[in-house]
Amino acid sequence: MILKDKVVLVTGGTGSFGKKFVEIILKEYSPKTVRIYSRGEALQDEMKQDFNDERLRFLIGDVRDRDRLYRAVEGVDVVVHAAALKQIPVCEYNPIEAVNTNIGGSINLIDAVIDRGVTKVLAISTDKAVHPVNLYGATKLVAEKLFVQANTYRGGQGTKFSCVRYGNVIGSRGSIVPLFLKQKERGEITITDEHMTRFWISLEQGVRFVISCLEGMHGGEIFIPKIPSMKVIDIADTIAPEAKKKIIGLRPGEKMHEVLLTEEESSHAIEFNTKFVVVPEFPFWTESTPNIGGKPVENVRYASDNNTRWLTKEELRNMIENET
């Protein structure tokens, strides 16, 4: 196993994804140590008490801090990069801060892991990076490009970089599920548009997909899980069937539907039963693409509105119960 007896660092490790990732790898994958790199001492202290595991190390730091990152990745084997500014309105109101964290922080991490000889780095991306309509999505698009092409800097040797791109996570901070649960108490739920759709994945599913990608990555791939879609209004009906639904219209920076794989990307993508893998379009660091199996795809748009797999209300209830 890729994580057995390894030193693992998780940036943004006190977030929803980071906590679930740490929980699973400590229980099932026997890492030597896990370093949590984040800015908030209160969240770190809370996580330390919750886990009470001597394999955990808590490092206060910001991905903007290049020197601190160099110290943090010393002796690390695997990095999962989950740190980012993610709230769309926050990024729009603080655009330079979003760029400094999501793009500048990625550059700092890339330099640090190459110079310190980290084996594998997997960056967590989002469907918002595809045809972005807001600054958050644009910064994540740039981050994807940086991590894929960072393989060029190591020249086929040393650190391998890849990305995982997936949709909305049920139960995570900023998800509409906690919002709807809160609005349910007031008896009215706000819906942007009754036709809006989104991809959905649970925290545990996301973590296990990331671990599988760490196991199989060659460097330069963008891994996309095949996950179900659901209309936002159906989510509201599932959570609060008796509540009044108020249609408020699309908010600034929102899409009606999200896309995980574009037609252009599909020309250099490979399809498997459970995922798509976008292989690098400009693999300057290698003469040939590794044979990773699967079948070629072409002219495919994998979007939340044309999905062949839809989440049922019962499945959503089960996911909410497990994640909240």
Q: 60: burial class by Cβ within 10 Å (0-12, 13-18, 19+)?
A: middle
Catalytically annotated residue among 86, 128, 226, 231: 128
Strands (DSSP E) found in the chain? 7-11, 33-38, 56-60, 78-81, 120-126, 160-166, 168-170, 188-191, 197-202, 222-225, 229-231, 244-247, 259-261, 269-271, 275-278, 295-297, 302-303
Residue whose pair of structure tokens reads 């809160």 in the numeric block: 182
- The contacts of residue 317 (CB under 8 Å, 6+ apart) are 238
d(CA 146, CA 150): 6
Q: 49: burial class by Cβ within 10 Å (0-12, 13-18, 19+)?
A: exposed
Which amino acid, residue 275? K
d(CA 122, CA 214): 7
For residues 303 and 257, the answer to whether their CB atoms sit within 8 Å is: yes
Question: Other C-beta atoms within 10 Å of 173: how many?
Answer: 11
Q: Does residue 246 have an active-site annotation?
A: no
Of the candidates 121, 120, 161, 165, the one whose C-alpha atom is nearest the C-alpha of residue 141 is 165
d(CA 117, CA 75): 8
**Could you give phi then psi for residue 59, rounded to 5 degrees?**
-115, 120
d(CA 194, CA 187): 18
Which amino acid, residue 126? T
Any idea which residues carry the catalytic annotation?
128
